[in-house]
Amino acid sequence: MSEKGIVYVVEDDAAVRDSTVLYLVHKGWSVSAYESAERFLEDADDKSLGCVLLDIRMPGMSGLELQAVMTQKGFDIPIIFLTGHGDVEQAVTALKCGAFDFLEKPYDHKDLHNKLTDAISTHKERRQSAADRADVETRIASLTQRESEVMKLMVRGLSSKHIARELDISHRTVDVHRSNVMRKMEFASLAELTGFLAKGGEFEGWSGKA
């Protein structure tokens, strides 16, 4: 698969679909084209990096209906709607429902290229954010309940003395738990650990392993 990702063109107008595919392939994009929303759903892959160029008005399942199905299925791939004259109201609805952007036909190819680049860059960021969070959760799951409690207080800036008082344990025991936390979380400094948890979306109110 191209590092740019895959562009899925879902468009019932064969002329528009073919010209769009021809342009994208010429520009080095990997492209899969479909004449209907139903056909796209048969092949849809929620694991691929990419973007969907989706006609808002199609026979059978409309673009907005396909967007709703993709949302229900948990697809995180960005959607850029292709709209005709008079579809602005529907395009606004699509944006409110999470679409990345829309283009009005006939659209400028440079504008299309720029929006695709932005959309796939956003998709990469979403995937990286999800991976970071999964990494956070995996490392946290390796901690004991007490280590989790100690880490929660560590990242809030409490000293070992204050943690010992808060948890009613000895200062030495806190130091052992702190060492275990840093080893299991794989960081050399508290600043790095705190930054990692924030990057992974560590949430306020987290109370550690049950």
Helix axes 190-199, 171-185, angle to 10 degrees: 50
Task: Answer left, alpha or beta for residue 32, where phi above 0 means left and psi between -120 and 50 means alpha.
Answer: beta
Pairing of strands 79-83, 101-104: parallel
Report the pLDDT value the prediction gives residue 3, as an integer from 0 to 100.
Answer: 63
Angle of CA points 56, 58, 59, to nearest 5°: 155
Q: What is the pLDDT along the chain (210 residues), one digit of tens a residue?
A: 446 789 999 999 999 999 999 999 999 999 999 999 999 999 887 788 999 999 999 999 999 999 999 999 989 899 999 998 778 788 888 989 999 999 998 888 899 999 999 999 999 988 888 887 788 888 889 999 999 999 999 998 999 999 999 999 999 999 999 999 999 998 889 998 888 777 655 544 444 443
From the CB of residue 6, how many other CB atoms can be counted at a distance below 10 Å? 18
Is CATH 3.40.50.300 the classification given to domain 142-199?
Answer: no
Asked if residues 78 and 123 have their Cβ atoms less than 8 Å apart, the reply is: yes
- Going by C-alpha positions, the residue among 66, 57, 39 that lies closest to residue 104 is 57
From the CB of residue 10, how many other CB atoms can be counted at a distance below 10 Å? 27
pTM: 0.71
- Going by C-alpha positions, the residue among 10, 164, 150 that lies closest to residue 79 is 10
List, in sequence order, every beta strand (DSSP E) within the chain: 6-10, 30-34, 50-55, 79-83, 101-104
For residues 71, 15, 88, 96, the Cα torsion angle rounded to the nearest 10 degrees is 10
Gap between the Cα atoms of 188 and 60, Å rounded: 57
The full set of domain ranges for the chain reads 6-131, 142-199
Topology of domain 6-131, CATH: Rossmann fold (3.40.50)
